[in-house]
């Protein structure tokens, strides 16, 4: 099956620093990648959708200057949380699709803790 690798699995950083999370499709070309945020015991909330080579589309209420998304190749997308603050602490999950966008393969997630 399609494999999506997400790195790192866990990161702890100081307030004010920036953190980069990588999402890679290992065995398929991902034309579209998605970034989600999940708070404890809650559902996944879509943050943004990115297509290879073009700017990401952000959901309402998501600050694009805060959460920088780059999708430079068909196998890699990155999410950078800039000037992280404790309220940015959350579980971030990426997913990728290769064609039918309603079929998404998810990464294992990244637990971000901002001190």
List interacting residues with other proteins (CB under 8 A).
4, 6, 32, 34, 41-44, 46, 49, 93, 95, 97, 101-109, 111
Please, what is the minimum distance in Å from the beta carbon of residue 37 to other proteins?
A: 12
Span between the terminal Cα atoms of the chain, in Å = 37
- Identify which of residues 11 and 83 has a Cβ nearer to other proteins in the complex: 11
- Identify which of residues 17 and 39 has a Cβ nearer to other proteins in the complex: 39
> CB of 66 within 8 A of CB of 114?
no
- Identify which of residues 45 and 82 has a Cβ nearer to other proteins in the complex: 45
Which of 45, 55, 58, 50 has the alpha carbon at shortest distance from 30?
50
Please, what is the minimum distance in Å from the beta carbon of residue 50 to other proteins?
A: 11
- Identify which of residues 16 and 99 has a Cβ nearer to other proteins in the complex: 99
Buried b vs exposed e over 47-60: b needs ≥16 C-beta within 10 Å? bbbbebeeebebee
Please, what is the minimum distance in Å from the beta carbon of residue 53 to other proteins?
A: 16
Please, what is the minimum distance in Å from the beta carbon of residue 19 to other proteins?
A: 18
């Amino acid at each position: 099956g399609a494999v999506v690798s997400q790195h790192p699995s866990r990161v702890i950083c100081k307030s004010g620093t920036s953190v980069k999370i990588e999402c890679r499709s290992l065995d398929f070309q991902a034309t579209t990648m998605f970034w989600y945020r999940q708070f404890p015991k809650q559902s996944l909330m879509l943050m943004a959708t990115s297509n290879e080579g073009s700017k990401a589309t952000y959901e309402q209420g998501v600050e694009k200057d805060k959460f920088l998304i780059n999708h430079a190749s068909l196998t890699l997308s990155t999410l950078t949380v800039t000037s992280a603050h404790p309220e940015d602490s959350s579980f971030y999950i990426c997913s990728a699709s290769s064609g039918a966008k309603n079929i998404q393969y998810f990464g294992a997630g990244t637990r971000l803790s901002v001190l």
